[in-house]
Amino acid sequence: MKIAVLVSGSGTLLEAMIEAELPIALVVSDRPCRGLVLADENGIPALLHERTDFGPGFDRDAYASELSEELLAHEIDVVAMAGFGTILGTSIFDALRGRIVNTHPSLLPSFPGWHAVRDALDFGVRVTGCTIHVATPKVDHGPILAQEAVIVREDDDEASLHERIKTVERRLYVETLRNIHARGHVLDPMLEELS
């Protein structure tokens, strides 16, 4: 099974996946970042599918369609989004239905969106956590594959809580991808059961 990892930043999730010796066949980024450097240092093919338009005219479907063509050309079985900063258009979810996995720093369906940790603190929850889920066109909404709780401490701020969530997230994401790899098939059969 070939895994592609989509990155945009520091690459800490990618680093955990590399250390776990997951079968990563490709790393793709939407901007120059440390994730691409990690790929190069570990002999993993990497692709910069750069996003240059951040305005309202950005064509998400065209960008996603080009990206899905690259992934299919590399015969990728599973796509692991690991801090990828671009919300993708529907074309990639059609091309790779049920084969794209994402992680989110809350116990979905609670606190979807970019500011999940801040939102959890503002709401005053005592417990939050992280979720690994099948990615769909609706952001932070796909079928849940794994979740783990993280207790909110009295002295937590956004940075301290987010760091503890990331620690759990790195382990849980690797475990989930290992389980997918052990099954020996992509997520299509699961998607029908979980939808």
Average pLDDT over residues 7-11: 93
Tens-place pLDDT, residues 160-173: 999 999 999 999 99
C-alpha torsion 90→194→179→167, nearest 10? 70
The residue that leads in pLDDT, 57 or 172, is 172
pTM: 0.91
Q: In angstroms, rounded to a whole number, what is the distance separating the alpha carbons of residues 86 and 63? A: 10
Q: Of 104, 115, 141, 181, which is the active-site residue?
A: 104
Q: What is the mean pLDDT of residues 11-16?
A: 96
Q: Rounded distance, CA 179 to CA 8, Å?
A: 25
Residue-level pLDDT at 186: 54
How far, in Å, CA of 118 to CA of 15, rounded? 25
173 three-class SS: helix
pLDDT score at 144: 93
Q: What is the mean pLDDT of residues 181-195?
A: 58
pLDDT of residue 156: 97
| CATH fold match for the domains 1-96 and 103-179 | yes
**Residue 92 reports pLDDT greater than 70:** yes
Looking at residue 195, its pLDDT comes to: 40
- For the domain covering 103-179, report its CATH number: 3.40.50.170
Tell me what pLDDT residue 145 has: 94
* 194: confidence class by pLDDT, cuts 50, 70, 90: very low
How confident is the model over 12-18, as a mean pLDDT? 97
Pick the CATH number of 1-96 from 3.20.170.30, 3.40.50.170, 3.40.430.10, 3.40.50.620: 3.40.50.170
- Calculate the CA dihedral of residues 66, 136, 99, 23 and round it to 10 degrees: 80
Domain-wise residue ranges, the chain: 1-96, 103-179
pLDDT digits (tens, 9 = 90+) for 149-159: 999 999 999 99
The answer for residues whose C-beta is within 8 angstroms of residue 169's C-beta and 6 or more apart is: 13, 103, 105, 130
Q: Is the predicted pLDDT of residue 188 greater than 70, yes or no? A: no
Is the predicted pLDDT of residue 31 greater than 90, yes or no? yes
Indicate if 162 belongs to the active site: no
